[in-house]
Amino acid sequence: MRFLSRKLNYWSVRGVNGPKPVPIFGNVLQLFVKPRPLVEKEWIHKYGKIYGYYVQNNPILTIAEPELIKLVLVKNFHLFADRRHEESSDPIIDNSLTNLLGDDWKRVRSIVSPTFSSGKMRKMYPMVRQCLTDFMDHLEVIVGDGEAVEIDVKQVFGNFTMDVITTCAFATKTNSHKELNNPFVVNAKRIFNISALQLISLIVLPNFALKWIESSPINTLQFLIKNVRQILAKRRLNKDGDKYNDFVQLMVDLHKDPHINDNAITDPNDVNEAHHLNEGAEELLVQKKALNTSNKYMSDTEILSQALMFLLAGYETTATALSASSYELALNPSVQQKLYEEITAAMDGDGEIGYEELAKLPFLDAFMSETLRIHSPAIRVSRLAATDFKLGDTGITIKKDQMIEVPVYAIHHCEDFYPNAEQFDPDRFMPHNRHKIIPYTYLPFGAGPRSCIGMRFALMEAKLGLAHIVSKYRFSACTHTDVPLNYKRDLKMTFPKRIVVAIEKRR
């Protein structure tokens, strides 16, 4: 016990504030009692923008000062390039970009990054649009022409994003709206509905034991891996000359010609979007340096890993973003009207809106940015120190292999950075106000070379979906609309338990 007490005094003897830990658990129990984003918000308010806490007896430093965030995520990225990852028994899981470390991460990221360039997104745009057509047809059936209908939008948007992901990743239609028992859909959704008991079993039980539990996360992942492997094998044997523009095909093409994406460029229209707030010459130079490698080879295992990551990372996060958007539209009628007017003015005579036009709409971008600020799907960003590091002029030295975290949700809800932080106000992100936002306080996709690789795709999908829905339907609050939302107790992501609103066709 004396040894444990010494370990749990790590921050206090160094003059770093933080919540009081308890032996064995550290501060983990507090994170199970209340949703983590709300706990971190309380901790910042109580202990300041630099505090220490414990996972069991492991000390972790949390930073919410913008300059320190830049110092870690950008300026010294080479010293904080990795996240902590406990190896599983499955190489498919271990080789995803989210889990890769060191030179392997650098190599795979440099190969995959151009796959999400504006040029590639433009090719996927019609595929997303077709999925949206199916979604709008389904919405027509649900809502009809009568009075407003109450809907848990998480379910319907989840089906839409599942169709988009399976179409754009594997050129596979899942028909999620009609085929509710489609095995692909069922297993993908299971990943995001792991119970507390399953979470504990995942930590405690060895993988060979988990495989005997039918609904375990391991078996669910194995089902998805098997299906992705079959799709990849078919593409390798494709003798019909069929040409796909999906993610798997891009990976197959890369395997044949590792330098196929060397000249991929970024569309100048992208700079209109708020996610570029943290970018400058220094940031772009760091990113270029971080991804500079001559090794352009990817194994089949690595290709499978990235395809699976694309599926899992793109499903619930985008569905939650769209659901949160409908929630804010329902609670803010004047905002909804302003967005409707901008969107309909930009549409052509057939009610369509092109890729370039979509990226140029200032209020749509501001609305989506404010939605991602208040309802950021990622709770925090974490990095592992590669060596001992003096953290600016704080007097704190981060030891080698120590974790440092950035509490994204708490920063987004901090009054020091966003006055009236709980108020939904898209004008914060309008071009004439954007300069007031302090760099590295808007982090829905992270920052630096290890930021979310699918950011551009997620924004395109969410904006296109929202534009067409708002042009034809109106959202409003109803008796079952939760104000505020109730969140799942998840340690990594921010997912509401439900989002119920009323929806009716515009007349």
pLDDT in tens, 209-241: 334 434 455 667 778 788 888 888 888 777 655
Please indicate, yes or no, if residue 45 is contained in any of the structural domains.
no
Instruction: Look at residue 207 and tell me whether its pLDDT is greater than 50.
Output: no
Helix (H) or strand (E) holding 337: helix 333-346
Per-residue pLDDT, 2: 54
Q: Which residues pair with 50 in a beta bridge?
A: 63
Task: Flag whether 414 is marked binding.
Answer: no
Please indicate, yes or no, if residue 446 is contained in any of the structural domains.
yes
pLDDT in tens, 12-65: 999 999 999 999 899 999 888 888 888 999 999 999 999 999 999 999 999 999
* Both tokens assigned to 45: 């308010």
Among 73, 130, 91, residue whose Cα is nearest residue 384: 73
Residue appearing with tokens 């979509």: 358
Range of the domain at 379: 64-83+91-505
Please indicate, yes or no, if residue 28 is contained in any of the structural domains.
no
What mean pLDDT is predicted for residues 145-157?
93
Please indicate, yes or no, if residue 39 is contained in any of the structural domains.
no
Kindly state the DSSP code that residue 282 receives in the 8-state scheme. H
Q: How many residues does the structure list for the chain?
A: 507
**Cα-flanking dihedrals φ and ψ of residue 474, to 5°?**
-120, 135
Please indicate, yes or no, if residue 48 is contained in any of the structural domains.
no
d(CA 45, CA 297): 47
Residue appearing with tokens 């870690």: 72
> Rg of the Cα trace of the chain?
23
Per-residue pLDDT, 201: 40
Instruction: Kindly report the CATH number assigned to the domain that includes residue 189.
Output: 1.10.630.10
Model-level pTM? 0.89
Please indicate, yes or no, if residue 40 is contained in any of the structural domains.
no
Number of helices (H), then strands (E), in the chain: 20, 9
**Cα-flanking dihedrals φ and ψ of residue 407, to 5°?**
-80, 85
Could you give the number of structural domains in the chain? Answer: 1
Among 247, 391, 404, 386, residue whose Cα is nearest residue 314: 247
Please indicate, yes or no, if residue 21 is contained in any of the structural domains.
no
Please indicate, yes or no, if residue 53 is contained in any of the structural domains.
no
